């Protein structure tokens, strides 16, 4: 029997930036219906971005589009920069006006705002349920610090080391200086082992020591256990960071909305900015959105 061959559209997109070769690169397959899970994984490994997004037809009436995310090694439930990339490409392909699109992802059924600005788009995604684990025990914190090359003197005393999730969990690690942040050289093998111990694959090291106007936090994110030694600019780290800063009263908040910009990627030459908003309910973080701009790098096709 002759197999059916389909042509798939494959894009490379830099998210959280408008400059090519900056921000966080993501693969996007815009017409992924027909690909098996193993084929998606193989494509993600071939493209070798931290994540590749696969845009699929909806499976029920409660969403308009289904998006799946794969690292080179595994599927993940949510990805900020690949969501921005996927909806940026979808908006361009469909010439969408400003609108809200409801997407199904591993983290749930969630809205994405498409904001048309002249001939381009800005994408804002609502992230999943905010979840806080208990602060990690001192002995585990010491092991994480050693793996990252940090000492107690480097730590920001207001910031407990804690796992926070808005769909894809990260360990929040606050330090007191941007200079130290930019020279970190983690032991990736030790971080991989620790990921199994703490049941979390990502380590977000951040500082509020920002020299940039309009930027609150600078960070770096390491996730070697899922094949990402360092992710350039991470929506699923900056989003939980917003909830974390509100939860621990580390930043002043007036009213029911806290917004800031997070800067990431400087140390590896791929800087980008994530726009974060946290809606509060009764003084507690309730809903997190992250967003930003994007730029298309290339478009090609593959027959499978």
Q: Which two tokens stand for residue 269?
A: 């030459």
Outline where DSSP puts E strands in 45-161: 52-56, 65-70, 75-76, 99-105, 108-117, 120-126, 131-132
The single residue listed with the structure tokens 């996927």 is 86
Task: Indicate the Cα dihedral angle 180, 173, 79, 254, nearest 10°.
Answer: -100
Q: CA geometry: angle at 283 spanning 282 and 289, to 5°?
A: 100
What whole-number distance in Å separates Cα of residue 283 and Cα of residue 247? 9
Strand partners, 274: 262
Catalytic residue, chosen from 19, 37, 46, 51, is: 51
Q: Which two tokens stand for residue 34?
A: 């027909």
Identify whether 37 is a catalytic site residue: no
What whole-number distance in Å separates Cα of residue 260 and Cα of residue 293? 15
Q: Which residues are catalytic?
A: 51
């Amino acid at each position: 029997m002759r197999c059916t061959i389909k042509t798939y559209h494959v894009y490379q997109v830099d998210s959280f930036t408008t400059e090519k070769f900056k921000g966080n690169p993501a693969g996007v397959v815009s017409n992924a219906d027909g690909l098996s899970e193993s084929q998606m994984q193989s494509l993600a490994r071939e493209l070798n971005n931290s994540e590749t997004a696969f845009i699929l037809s909806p499976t029920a009436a409660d969403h308009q589009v289904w998006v799946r995310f794969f690292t080179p090694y595994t599927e993940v439930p949510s990805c900020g920069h690949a969501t921005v990339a996927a909806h940026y490409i979808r908006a361009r392909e469909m010439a969408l006006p400003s609108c809200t699109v409801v997407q199904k992802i591993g983290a749930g059924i969630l809205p994405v705002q498409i904001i048309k600005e002249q001939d381009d788009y800005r994408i804002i995604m609502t992230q999943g349920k905010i979840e806080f684990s208990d602060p990690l025990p001192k002995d585990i914190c010491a092991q994480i610090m050693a793996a990252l090359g940090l000492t107690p003197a480097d730590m920001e005393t207001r910031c407990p080391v804690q796992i926070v999730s808005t769909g894809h969990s990260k360990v929040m690690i606050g330090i007191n200086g941007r200079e130290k942040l930019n020279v970190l050289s983690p032991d990736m093998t030790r971080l991989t082992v620790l990921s199994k111990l703490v049941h979390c694959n990502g380590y977000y090291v951040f500082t509020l020591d920002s020299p940039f106007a309009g930027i609150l936090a600078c960070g770096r994110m390491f996730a070697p256990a899922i094949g990402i030694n360092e992710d350039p600019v991470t929506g699923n780290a900056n989003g939980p960071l917003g909830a974390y800063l509100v939860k621990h009263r580390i930043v002043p908040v007036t009213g029911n909305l806290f917004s800031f910009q997070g800067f990431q990627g400087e140390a590896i030459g791929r800087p980008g900015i994530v726009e974060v908003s946290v809606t509060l309910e009764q003084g507690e973080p309730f809903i997190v959105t992250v967003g930003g701009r994007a730029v298309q790098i290339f478009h090609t096709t593959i027959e499978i």
